Chains A and B, each alone.
Chain A
């Protein structure tokens, strides 16, 4: 059973556009929601994270929007750049430090 569902599987965006990746979860015990960025041949890198007491968190061009009632959260990449082309994973964690990952979104930003 997939604990965290991620969509879309792939995304193509023009340079300067907004990339939006969505995730949904069921377990209300989750209390930490990170996003990871992974380039080919590298391990995932922590990009930005949010806790459920906050509805939005912004770091530079990256924003997480969190909807606790809908059990959904999303990553918005503003002014997308070719260097943002990577695979993005959402995740959720519950107390006890077990992380559950989405299936990943392959983002391609076209110059």
Chain B
């Protein structure tokens, strides 16, 4: 079974631009979560989608948004990029539902904002 895939793997953007990151979960997984990882803050939860609905949201500004499609693929969008948005953005998928299941991460998208 293929793992979680994320595209693109690397991205360089300029401050003020917007960016869209994509995530394809493991086949059969219905929950997709997004995390921001930085050396200083560790793994910070952005949001989680289950069956096309945002079920959980972390403490990030409204510039960070996401969506999930009917095939469980998910996209994350960051508008008006700031230098501090430079990070590794990780997507993770689980089977979903109310019981916690094993969560599997993709390789991440390395975003650099200049």
Contacts and interface: CB of A to CB of B under 8 A. Distances in A.
Interface of A: 31-32, 34, 36, 42-46, 49, 89, 93-104
Given A97-B50, A97-B55, A44 B43 contact: yes
Nearest to A101: B43
Q: SS class of chain A's interface: helix, strand, loop or mixed?
A: strand
Contacts of B31: 97
B108 interface: yes
A45 B4 CA distance: 11
B100 A31 contact: yes
Closest 6 CB pairs of A and B: A43-B105, A32-B100, A93-B100, A101-B43, A98-B56, A103-B42
A97 B48 CA distance: 8
Contact of A98 (B42, B48, B90): B48
A94 B90 contact: no
Nearest to A89: B43
Contact of A44 (B100, B102, B105): B105
B107 A97 contact: no
17 contacts: A34-B103, A36-B105, A43-B105, A43-B107, A43-B108, A44-B90, A46-B102, A46-B103, A49-B102, A93-B103, A96-B55, A96-B98, A97-B31, A97-B48, A97-B97, A97-B98, A101-B45
